[in-house]
Chain A
């Protein structure tokens, strides 16, 4: 992985950073790169309330905020910013205003690399809207001074339409940190871990490939 001067990660939900990206984040931290994570919402609309139930609609955001802080600590993220938007509403925000918020963030953090979702290929409307706002913000920056933009995509049609990812990071050396970051989001991932425990113990090849490889598409600007 190339050493970056400053990394900015922009995602809408606590735990978006954990699944496909936390190994990459942990590696940048190990390389001595400062990392800022801007998380737009607190995942207020999460549906896992536990079995047996451990929370409710109104308390979930408090739990997820604590989990997000813990995940950032585990990954060594020094600058965690919670932007105060509400889960599942990002696509309904004013697009220009949102792009300007992202531009202000980028100008403040001054990253050499930004990681966000690929607009249109990231399944959740918040993911697509967040990615779109970041793309619009970077487009406002003169071409010569733009940071690199790496996008996460996982829609069923993403490889078909975008081609294979051009960046594949093998994060095996920090896999345990990644698992700890995923586990930090306990309200969201406990059940998944219960289902996966046996496979993890047996180093199931499919699971290991999923955990150890993080893929990104470098965004190609048309503007």
Chain B
């Protein structure tokens, strides 16, 4: 993955608009966060292969970045995004990594279901 290039990511987001796309969205502190620090409140959410269609999608911020998708009946968004990749299958992978390279958030779009 590379550091987010806003123009390139925006163009890719645009290319997925107004069609059925499969969505992967997750946020996580890791399963050991509260074990390693009992005062830490660990929370996360995960959805894989949600089928959505959006009319408008944007990447914003000065880094870390935010991305939001205006889907038919609601919204999808993620914050803390630092890196992106359009992989060999043409999928858009957006992720936020902390200083140690640990993934904290991911938002991914694909025209075919994720494995």
Contact between A56 and B95 (Cβ–Cβ < 8 Å)?
yes
Stretch with Cβ within 8 A of A (4 or more), from B13-21, B26-34, B53-61, B64-72: B26-34
Closest to B24 in A: A57
Contact between B87 and A49 (Cβ–Cβ < 8 Å)?
no
Known interface pairs A88-B46, A156-B38. Does A57 touch B103 (Cβ–Cβ under 8 Å)? yes
CB distance from B18 to the nearest CB of A (A): 24
Closest to A126 in B: B31
Per the 8 Å Cβ criterion, residues 47-74 of A in contact with B are 47-53, 56-59, 61
Q: Which 8 A-B pairs have the closest CB atoms?
A: A51-B101, A47-B102, A124-B31, A47-B103, A123-B35, A57-B106, A50-B101, A53-B1
Binding site for B on A (CB under 8 A): 45, 47-53, 56-59, 61, 88, 123-126, 155-156, 191
- A sample of 12 inter-chain contacts (CB < 8 A) reads A45-B28, A47-B102, A49-B97, A51-B99, A53-B97, A53-B101, A56-B95, A57-B93, A57-B106, A58-B87, A58-B114, A88-B31
A161 to B56, CA, bound (A): 54
Q: Which residues of B contact A88 (CB under 8 A)?
A: 31, 46
Partner of B101, one of A49, A57, A58, A59: A49
Closest to B82 in A: A53
Per the 8 Å Cβ criterion, residues 65-86 of B in contact with A are 83, 85
A45 to B28, CA, bound (A): 9
Number of A-B contacts (CB under 8 A): 61
Closest to B30 in A: A47
Contact between A49 and B95 (Cβ–Cβ < 8 Å)?
yes
A50 to B103, CA, bound (A): 9
Closest to A86 in B: B48
CB distance from A3 to the nearest CB of B (A): 35
Q: Which residues of A contact B111 (CB under 8 A)?
A: none
Q: Which residues of B contact A52 (CB under 8 A)?
A: 101
A88 to B45, CA, bound (A): 11
A155 to B106, CA, bound (A): 29
CB distance from B87 to the nearest CB of A (A): 7
Q: Which residues of B contact A50 (CB under 8 A)?
A: 101
